[in-house]
Copies of this chain bind each other. A is one copy, B any other.
Amino acid sequence: MHATLIHGDHDIRFEEVPDPVLVTGDDAIVRVVAACVCGSDLWPYRGVTKARGRIGHEFVGIVEQVGAAVAQVKVGDFVIAPFYVCDFTCINCRNGFSTSCLQGSWWGGDDRTGHPADGGQGEFIRVPLADGTLAVVPGPVDDALIPHLLTLSDVMGTGHHAAVSAGVRQGDTVVVVGDGAVGLCGVLAASRLGAGRIVAMSRNPSRQALAREFGATDIVEERGDDGIRVIQQLFDGVGADRVLECVGTEESMRQALGSARPGGQVGFVGVPNGGPELPMRKLFGSNVGVRGGVAPVRNYIAELLPEVLDGRLRPGAVFDLELPLAQVADAYAAMDERRAIKVLLRP
């Protein structure tokens, strides 16, 4: 079979690799139906972080084989894989934070038993802890639903986590920093949670349009101190109730903290990259809370999947380009050059 490997900066190849086999008893083999490229995949691609070997961590597919200890997932099931492996039974999983699973691991790394796990951008994938990791989608799955289902593996769950971490409630005013796929899903999540007014910070016309489709009521193009001033003016001179930080740079966190009113809260899901540092004295003086991190999307599937299935929630619109999986290198280039928001890949 074939899978995606990263060999160096801007060097993505779709190569022949051994077929995966069951090894732990609790694992499953999934035939990928759709995968995609994540903004965080661009970091090794750009050489910001070092990663070599199998890559990708978002996919949906059909279960082809299951190990002897797998009890819930069955051959033929259509499944969503979150961007990490988890048992979904440990104390952290039960507390709602399966990204801190005591038996957890990451696609492309070794699983808890020391066996290497596949990356998510391949034709077949061995899934450790299949009963915990995989969420089964009931019934026959309409092909048109696949992009929406695929977002539950990461990007929609992560946008939702930003909104939940910021504490978005009915009627709140919300600012979303970042117009990538996660930021746009953050807009959708805030809207779904009943936010009264949602500002998308974006300078890109097509992303502004999608933000409005997802529920943004206002667009702010200014950044830095100008951006903070405009946001404060929009909201009583003091800022918004909730801010979703969906980038992960020092500059974006500064924008987020400056956009929150006293007593407001920043929900952050952008992987902190060379920062950001938090100005503790300012947090103390303003009572702005900061909460977030790596999103427990496996836990959120139960809440979000029914709305995707009945058509109320349509986050799949973040995919504005679809390519064959074999052209995965083109997908990375399109996202790196911001020609695409997010690329869907089909084997």
Residues of A with Cβ closer than 8 Å to B? 91-92, 95-97, 99-100, 102, 165, 236-238, 261-263, 265, 268, 271-272, 275-278, 280-281, 283-294, 296
10 A-B residue pairs with Cβ-Cβ distance under 8 Å, sorted by A, are A92-B262, A97-B263, A99-B262, A99-B287, A265-B291, A278-B280, A278-B290, A286-B293, A287-B293, A289-B292
CB-defined contacts of A261 to chain B, threshold 8 Å:
91-92, 95
* Inter-chain contacts of A237 with B (CB < 8 A): 91, 102
Q: Beyond the given A268-B284, A271-B284, A278-B280, could you list 17 further A-B residue pairs with CB under 8 A, ordered by the A residue number?
A: A92-B238, A92-B262, A92-B263, A95-B261, A95-B262, A95-B263, A97-B262, A99-B262, A100-B238, A100-B262, A165-B287, A277-B278, A278-B278, A284-B293, A287-B291, A289-B292, A291-B291
For the complex formed by this chain, how many copies does it contain in all? 2
Chain B's nearest CB lies how many Å from the CB of A175?
16
Q: Tell me, rounded to whole Å, the shortest Cβ–Cβ distance linking A103 to chain B.
A: 13
Q: Contact between A296 and B287 (Cβ–Cβ < 8 Å)?
A: yes
Contact A289-B97, Cβ < 8 Å, known A238-B91, A284-B272, A284-B294: no
Q: Are B287 and A283 in contact (CB under 8 A)?
A: no
Select which of B281, B286, B289 is within 8 A of A290 by beta carbon: B289
Q: Give the distance to chain B from A132, nearest Cβ to Cβ, in Å.
A: 16
A289: chain B residues at CB < 8 Å are 165, 289-292
Enumerate chain B residues within 8 angstroms of A292, measured Cβ to Cβ: 283-284, 287, 289
Interface hub of A96, A165, A272 (most chain B Cβ within 10 A) = A272
Residues of B within 8 A of A92 (CB): 238, 261-263
